[in-house]
Chains A and B, each alone.
Chain A
Amino acid sequence: MEQIRQTVKKFILENILFEDDENALDYDDSFLEKGIIDSTGVLEVVSFIEEEFNISVDDDELVPENLDSVNKLAKFVNEKTGS
């Protein structure tokens, strides 16, 4: 789980925020509220976790409860992979 968190955080930092500074993002920061991703950016995150963790995200799983922070994402991926 911790490793998923780190991987997801690194992806968001480098590819969405283009940042090095680890402090630029907290694990619980809401992507929507902080304007970290726009509505099209969601699909970018989904495409990343699908490839990186070899999972498939269904349309009805595309909800903020699953995807809106590093912690939520990690939890979601963790459940999907069953690890």
Chain B
Amino acid sequence: MCGIAGIFNLHKDKEILIDNLRRMSAIINHRGPDGFGFYKDERAGLAHARLSIIDLKGGWQPIHNEDKTIWITFNGEIFNYIELRETLISKGHRFYTKSDTEVIVHLYEDYGVECLKYLNGQFAFAVWDKNNGKFFVARDRVGIRPLFYTFVNGSMIFASEIKSLFTDSRVKREIDPFALDQIFNFWMAIPPRTAFKDVLELPAGHYMVVEKGDCKIEKYWDLDFTPEGSIKSEEEYAEELKELLIDSTRLRLRADVPVGAYLSGGIDSSVITALIKKYTNNPLRTFSVAFHDEVYDESIYQKKMIEYLNTDHTVIKCSYSDIAKVFPDIIWHTETPILRTAPAPLYMLSKLVRDNGYKVVLTGEGSDEILAGYDIFKEAKVRKFLERDPDSKIRPLILKRLYPYLANSPTKSLQYSKAFFSINTNNYSDRYYSHIPRWDMTSKLKLFFSDHIKEELNGYNNVDDLSVLLSNDIDSFDYLSKAQYLEIKTLLSNYLLSSQGDRMAMGNSVEGRFPFLDHRVIEFCCKLPPNLRMQTLTEKYILKKSMNSLLPESIIKRTKQPYMAPDSKSFFAGETLEYVEEMFSDNALKRCGCFEIKKTRRLFEKCRKGLSIGFKDNMAFVGILSSQLLHHRFIDQFPTHTLNEIDETKEQIIEVV
């Protein structure tokens, strides 16, 4: 796992400076602190900051094929590399490393861009095919590893993180008002858009080929929830899921360094930890985050699993002020405004992992998406149920089953919840049914936008951009599958795996691996009958069934508690930190220009007094604070002139042609 960066001249040869590649890697050296490698010729420059996990001695990058006509810089892991390598060797390919990266070079030689379908992994890479003048860039199926790019003066510049692109002073640094509109609506910018104007992201499951001055982007994989003709028995599905998960976990333990696991106390991480314990020889080392505030804390369940599996466990306790303290660093890593503080404790957790000498952790991420674990899926089901008989006095009682764990539960008032859940959805296409309440509520945050932003957005319809991202097949899916598809296409890659995943782990040089996101597991779950994903209001029904014998009953039966962290409260629990005051000052608000000063000040005062208890104010507060920090760190104070050169004591490989 690593950081990658590079430059490709679209039309003609232009000198590429190693110094530029160095700067691009130096600023993302948290992704790869173990060493650097560079390649350059007249057309292309590739850079690599390395976190050594597989083939510690030999796996230096960029890596090439037998005659050095194909070069690659690669971030991520190919978990089935051992099998691929054997096949490639039997076909006559010669390897000079034992790394997973090298299999891509040889696969590409044989299959071109079709090589992607053989890979089981999490990756972003760039291949420079010199003989054919072809530059090939790709990202894994669900977007676990990031890839950003931009065009400047006839060159394409790409990198694992946006800050790397900004080390080139020709790249403009401006907040994109349309992205802001999307974030304050869908909780994420819709790829290829990012929070910054003209900085683009290669969407998950896509690749890009640049040749003859032309740039072509293609989708190579998408989720397909179209039901299969034959239906198996529940037991067969449960057994098959278990076998798949055992295999995907086993593959994800492949590393030349020790591998740990997160253990949150929820069912997903418990499943993964139990599978490691029962089906592999990997010594079980687990980590978790606990909260001082018991509303967010899951320690009781964590302890149950620790005792049950007898794991060597380390926990970090997170307080309100911890979140406030690390928040500016969080935004430096997310590179986008966020509406929740939830990434912050995960950043602290990855630091704990790293401080304990671990570089790799397995987590339960992805299960809620593919097996329908989230409340938004239940909400949609409940809304459908209420709509079938709007006058029923009995039906609203089902609302009591939603959010039992929330102190300010919206279901405290049944009548009110019923009214809230029965909102008019006629203005939207049916494909968005599940997500309308969330988007509708979030879009109210735009009341804080400045006149300048509102003018720029005049008439902009963000749903049009969203629909480009979606396959038309969505309209033929059942409504649960529609909801899952939407959730995966929006939040999985562009919030959960990025702001809360890759960026928080890599910020502390830790690689996350996700057995539920093995594409074989995803494809299997998509084809499950919907009622096995959610049965009445029991989420992840089939997973619970298939793991029955592996987990204690109390873990299987507990109501899902979504992972959350305290929001605006975090910033006012003790003394208000200077940066928070500063980011909400008239001056800072004016400089950023995105938010209306008077309203924003009112919100700030309300939160300071502890009067903001609802979702809306809390999301607005975190959204504005993070946007302000983004502007401050990336536009006002971006370290253009003080960029550190890379640490010369680290090993470096430089290949100049």
Contacts and interface: CB of A to CB of B under 8 A. Distances in A.
A67 to B, nearest CB: 8
Given A15-B606, A18-B447, A18-B448, A63 B415 contact: yes
**In terms of DSSP, what is the predominant structure of the interface of chain A?**
loop
Given A18-B447, A18-B602, A44-B614, A63 B413 contact: yes
A18 B614 contact: no
A14 to B, nearest CB: 6
Given A32-B423, A59-B413, A63-B416, A37 B447 contact: no
Interface in B406-462: 408, 410-413, 415-417, 419-420, 423-424, 440-441, 444, 447-448
B417 to A, nearest CB: 6
Contact of B412 (A20, A32, A62, A68): A62
A79 interface: no
Interface string B594-614: 000011101100100001011
B416 A39 contact: yes
Interface residues of A, number: 24
B516 to A, nearest CB: 30
A17 B615 CA distance: 14
A18 B441 CA distance: 16
A37 B614 contact: yes
A40 B614 contact: yes
Contact of B410 (A20, A39, A68): A39
A38 B614 contact: yes
B616 interface: yes
Nearest to A67: B416
A42 B417 CA distance: 10
Contacts of A39: 410-411, 416-417, 420
* From B411, B424, B448, B602, residue with most partner A Cβ within 10 Å: B602
Interface string B516-548: 000000000000000000000000000000000
A42 B416 contact: yes
A19 B599 CA distance: 7
Interface string A61-76: 0111001100000000
A38 to B, nearest CB: 5
A19 B600 CA distance: 10
Given A18-B602, A43-B408, A64 B415 contact: yes
A35 B611 contact: no
A42 B611 contact: no
A35 B441 contact: yes
Contacts of B615: 38, 40
A62 B440 CA distance: 23
Contacts of B600: 18
Interface string A1-42: 000000000000011011110000000000011010111111
Contact of B611 (A15, A17, A20, A68): A15
Given A14-B602, A17-B447, A18-B448, A41 B614 contact: yes
Contacts of B440: 35
A14 B599 CA distance: 9
Interface string A38-55: 111111100100000000
Given A17-B447, A39-B410, A44 B420 contact: no
A35 to B, nearest CB: 5
Nearest to B599: A18
A33 B420 CA distance: 9
Contacts of A63: 413, 415-416
Given A18-B603, A32-B423, A42 B413 contact: yes
Interface in B172-205: none
B447 A40 contact: no
A41 B415 CA distance: 14
Most-contacted residue by chain A among B440, B599, B603 (CB, 10 A):
B599
Interface string B28-39: 000000000000
Contacts of A64: 415-416, 419
A34 B35 CA distance: 56
Contacts of A47: 613
Most chain A CB inside 10 Å of its own CB: which residue of B412, B417, B423, B611? B412
B586 to A, nearest CB: 15
Contacts of B611: 15, 44
Contacts of B416: 39, 42, 62-64, 67
Nearest to B443: A35
A60 to B, nearest CB: 8
5 contacts: A15-B602, A18-B603, A35-B441, A35-B444, A41-B614
Interface of A: 14-15, 17-20, 32-33, 35, 37-44, 47, 59, 62-64, 67-68
Given A18-B448, A18-B602, A32-B419, 15 more contacts: A18-B447, A18-B598, A18-B600, A19-B599, A33-B423, A38-B410, A38-B420, A38-B441, A38-B614, A39-B410, A39-B416, A40-B614, A43-B408, A64-B415, A64-B416
A-B residue pairs, 5 tightest by C-beta: A39-B410, A62-B413, A40-B614, A18-B599, A63-B415
